[in-house]
Homo-oligomer: A and B are copies of this chain.
Amino acid sequence: MKRIFEIDPWKVVTHEFKPEEKRLQESMTSIGNEYMGMRGMFEETYSGDTHKGIYLGGVWYPDKTRVGWWKNGYPEYFGKVINAVDFTKVDIKLNGSSVDLAKDEFSDFELALDMKKGILNRSFIVAKDGQKFRLNFERFVSVAQKELYASKITVENLSDTEASVEIRSYIDADVFNEDANYDEKFWNVLAQNVAETHMSLTAQTIPNNFGTPQFTTEMLADHVTDLRPMAAETTEKSVINTFAGQIAAGQTVTFEKRVIVVTSRDHETQAALTQAAQTLSQKQAESSFEELKVAQAAGWAKRWEKADVEISGNAESQQGIRFNLFQLFSTYYGDDARLNIGPKGFTGEKYGGATYWDTEAFAVPLYLALADESVTKNLLKYRYDQLAGAYHNAQQQGLKGALYPMVTFNGIECHNEWEITFEEIHRNGTIAYAIYNYTRYTGDEEYATHNGFDVLVGIARFWADRVHYSKRKGQYMIHGVTGPNEYENNVNNNWYTNMLAKWCLNYANEIADKVSAQKLAQLDLGETERQKWHEIADNMYLPQDQELGIFVQHDTFLDKDLTPVKDLPAGQLPLNQNWSWDKILRSPYIKQADVLQGIYYFVEDFTPEQKEKNFDFYEPLTVHESSLSPSIHSVLAADLHKEDKAFEMYSRTARLDLDNYNNDTEDGLHITSMTGSWLAIVQGFAGMRVIDGELEFAPFLPKEWDDYKFRINFRGRLLSIEVDKEGSKIELLKGEPLKIKLNGEETKLAAK
């Protein structure tokens, strides 16, 4: 654990700058608006170690696969969101010398991300040539106008003599990805324009051999400043506007840079790009920087109104939950069905920025409750639109039906590690589960019975082909899989996978009863095939141990040496930094919920005894070395009235990045895991469930807190739930009256 920011309810703020923590600081002060985002790198020159990263949603490159040992069926490329053309870059010269915090003396440093308003602010006093200056930087990517990046630099001369200032502002396509497989740079410059106070650059991703789109982006920068324009330059890969002037003693100059970023994802031709950039730029020019900020704050206020969680009695928790929601919404807010939620959002390169099953497993429940239904529907539509890719993936493995990928931009599998790519197929079940989850929460069956049904049938057909019949056992089995616990690979009959496959077959059949004859005919789904699905589901082998009363993680799990985690010698944790891979694999230690993930999905279908026996068996073997682990355990512990355990697990997810728990936040934030603290509070502490179309709560107050309060959206209503030492209070803030269950008792709510 390493906490480098101060505790504050609405801010991520620090008054220290340590070069060795720069990457971590950059990750933590990332900003985004779904359309684009960036790490918290400095705008101005910084000659020390830094990881500059600006990313545009859906702008990626298919980087040719590079592996040590090729396995049949590996994908041809690994898609990655590439580092965009750098439109933030400036060089600030004071008395002829560049401001560079890696070299300059400075004081009064403050860095603050205002989560309420979505604005990043930084200021410090720097000494140059015997004079002192206060510099202030503000920046944001607009949630009111997605194409807009706005920044404002203020330079105040604190000395008693005049000083010179020169600011060079860049749009620079000479950028690289730290994780490029072949050290290629991904941008070619197509056009450059530069005039006195504005400039633009058009760049295109380099060609690829895989038939995936080449993206074109245009960046158009306008400057508003007290300084005089001095030069307009182009270099091979950049354009530069230079401004200069004098600052009298005690005086201040300001420098605004507003950039419009448009891409070929929204505009087909290069001419259309330029036209769009100009139109947007003119429109933005009508507003002052203050007005743009007001619009930004208003946009964020609207989001917080629907989603804020207030916690009294624990300032760390308060900051933690807001930080998680802020970063989630910065990554994805459902405006564009072609986008999804990368595990690191716009905060780093690792994992390539593509789509994982994390979205359906961990993000969908949150967006269902905190944003409009259309947001989740867009997430579902994303998978429907990529169904052809999923069929392709199954075919690559010689199988029928659709296999959703582990990692993708376009539906085609990008991951290349056989034990994951080929074997972690449980992901396919979660794609179907998200349809079920949406349908259950919204009550809207339209998606499941129309486009969603195409997805369900593809998935069911995959499972029906992927199972095999064991003559010895007289049951269907699934060999050679990796479950959610990636600390075991290539196991047979993972209970979670088999259970989910069985459920998928049954659910597809259940929905099939509700779809039109026309739809069935269109998908060529007849009685014989449906009967086969029934037969497989009814005869699916689900490993259990009668004596222990548990579901068995996979066939030979119980032969392991089952020493609990707490009895490991000191210094062994985290295992992934201390044990060789083979030792981890044959150990009983679980990276993230596996059997318990399945119980979490269908928590209302298991008896308290089943839940307790499995929890008590598996949790002591779990090392939670995936950021996706503790939240699921928190929800289940709460369900079992293990309140201390629930809070302990919540604590590990609440400030995962704020406290750099896994010692890897410098690579970027764990965006999809950020749902975890919300799930722990809402599904865990407050016990929220939707059963038979009815909302239910069974709240408790963690003894570490005085009070907590959150809002959720449910079928057109906005509800507020508050839990304090007296008990719990549920209010309907907006919408038609509804019945809910609170602690098992039916209650009718009406808005006041």
CA A584 to CA B72, docked complex, whole Å? 10
Q: Which residues of B contact A489 (CB under 8 A)?
A: 489-490
A507-549 interface (Cβ within 8 A of B)? none
Q: Is A610 an interface residue (CB 8 A)?
A: no
Q: How far, in Å, is A472 (CB) from chain B's closest CB?
A: 6
CB of A459, distance to nearest CB on chain B (Å): 17
Question: Which of A61-69, A87-95, A191-199, A273-281 makes up part of the contact surface?
Answer: A61-69
A703 contacts chain B at the CB level, 8 A cutoff? no
Q: How many residues of A contact B (CB 8 A)?
A: 48
Asked whether A479 is an interface residue with its Cβ less than 8 Å from the other chain, the reply is yes
Q: What distance in Å separates the Cβ of A273 from its nearest Cβ neighbour in chain B? A: 35
Q: Does A190 contact B (CB under 8 A)?
A: no
Is B422 touching A480 in the complex (CB atoms < 8 A)?
no
Q: Is A230 an interface residue (CB 8 A)?
A: no
Contact of A477 with B by CB under 8 A: yes
Chain B proximity mask over A461-482: 1 for CB below 8 Å, otherwise 0: 0000000111111000101100
Contact of A559 among B473, B577, B586 (CB under 8 A): B473
Evaluate contact between A581 and B67: CB separation under 8 angstroms. Answer: no
Known: A579-B72, A580-B396, A582-B480. A560 touches B468 (CB 8 A): yes
Whether A468 contacts B561 in the complex (CB less than 8 A), given A66-B68, A72-B584, A492-B556, comes out as: yes
Shortest CB–CB separation between residue A131 and chain B, in angstroms?
46
Asked if A558 is at the interface (CB within 8 A of a chain B CB), the reply is yes
Closest-CB distance, A434 to chain B (whole angstroms): 24
A583 contacts chain B at the CB level, 8 A cutoff: yes
Residue A585 interfacial (CB < 8 Å):
yes
- Complex interface: chain B residues within 8 A of A19 (CB): none
Q: Does A416 contact B (CB under 8 A)?
A: yes
Evaluate contact between B422 and A582: CB separation under 8 angstroms: yes
Complex interface: chain B residues within 8 A of A490 (CB): 419, 489-490, 585
Q: How far is the CA of A469 from the CA of B563 in the complex (A)?
A: 12
Inter-chain contact A585/B480, CB cutoff 8 Å:
yes
A423 interface residue per 8 A CB criterion: yes
Q: Which of B469, B556, B586 contacts A556 (CB 8 A)?
A: B556
Closest B residue to A584 by CB, please name it. B72
B560/A479 in contact, CB under 8 A: yes
> How many copies of the chain does the oligomer comprise?
2
Instruction: Determine whether A555 belongs to the interface, using a CB cutoff of 8 Å to chain B.
Output: yes
Can you list, as one digit per residue, whether each of A101-118 has a CB less than 8 Å from chain B (1) or not (0)? 000000000000000000
Question: A397 within 8 Å of B by Cβ?
Answer: yes
Report how far A135 CA is from B489 CA in the complex, Å.
59
A73 touches B (CB below 8 Å): yes
With A490-B585, A559-B477, A559-B492 given, is the CB distance from A579 to B398 under 8 Å? yes
Q: In the complex, which residues of chain B have a beta carbon less than 8 angstroms from the beta carbon of A558? A: 472
| Cα(A580)–Cα(B396), bound, Å | 7
**Chain B contacts for A583, CB-based, 8 A:** 397-399
Query: CB-CB < 8 A to A585: which residues of B?
Result: 418, 480, 490
A66 touches B66 (CB 8 A): yes
A752 at the interface (CB under 8 A from B): no
Question: Is A71 an interface residue when CB atoms closer than 8 A count as contact?
Answer: yes
Cβ distance A596 to chain B, nearest Cβ, rounded Å: 22
Taking a contact as CB atoms under 8 Å apart, the answer to whether B559 and A479 are in contact is yes
Interfacial chain B residues near A580, Cβ < 8 Å: 71-73, 396-398, 422
> Measured between alpha carbons, how far is A473 from B556 in the docked complex, in Å?
11
Complex Cα–Cα for A422 and B579 (A) = 12
Shortest A69–chain B CB gap in Å is 5
A375–chain B nearest beta-carbon distance, Å: 32
The verdict on A417 contacting chain B, using a C-beta distance below 8 Å, is: yes
A583 to B394, CA, bound (A): 11
Judged by a CB distance under 8 angstroms, whether A743 is at the interface is: no
Q: Is A97 an interface residue (CB 8 A)?
A: no
Contact B479 A586 (CB under 8 A): yes
Minimum CB–CB distance from A113 to chain B (whole Å) comes to 32
How far, in whole Å, are A613 and B44 apart by their CA atoms in the complex?
Answer: 76
List residues of chain B with CB within 8 A of the CB of A73. Answer: 580-582
Nearest chain B CB to A546 CB, angstrom units: 13
A576 at the interface (CB under 8 A from B): yes
Residue of B nearest to A586 (CB): B480
Give the chain B neighbours of A560 by CB distance below 8 A: 468, 470, 479
Q: In chain B, what residue has the closest Cβ to A477?
A: B559
C-alpha spacing A68/B415, complex, angstroms: 10
Residues of chain A from 557 to 571 with CB closer than 8 A to chain B in the complex: 558-562
Q: Which single residue of chain B is at the shortest CB-CB distance from A541?
A: B559
Chain B residues with CB below 8 A from A561, complex form: 468-470
Give chain A interface residues in 445-501, CB to chain B under 8 Å.
468-473, 477, 479-480, 489-490, 492
Q: How far is the CB of A440 from chain B (nearest CB, A)?
A: 32
Query: Is the CB–CB distance between B418 and A582 below 8 Å?
Result: yes
Name the one of B68, B480, B492 contacting A416, with C-beta atoms under 8 angstroms. Answer: B68
Q: Which residue of B lies closest to A478 (CB)?
A: B586
Tell me if A581 and B72 are in contact (CB < 8 A): yes
Q: How far is the CA of A72 from the CA of B576 in the complex (A)?
A: 7
Query: Across chains A and B, which 5 residue pairs bring their CB atoms closest together, nearest first?
Result: A73-B580, A422-B582, A480-B586, A71-B581, A67-B68
28 CB contacts below 8 A, A to B, read A67-B68, A68-B68, A72-B577, A72-B579, A72-B580, A72-B581, A397-B583, A398-B579, A398-B580, A398-B583, A399-B583, A418-B581, A419-B490, A422-B581, A422-B582, A423-B582, A468-B560, A470-B559, A470-B560, A471-B562, A479-B556, A479-B559, A479-B560, A489-B489, A489-B490, A490-B585, A555-B559, A556-B556
Known: A72-B579, A470-B559, A555-B559. 5 other contacts (CB 8 A): A69-B417, A72-B581, A480-B582, A480-B586, A555-B556
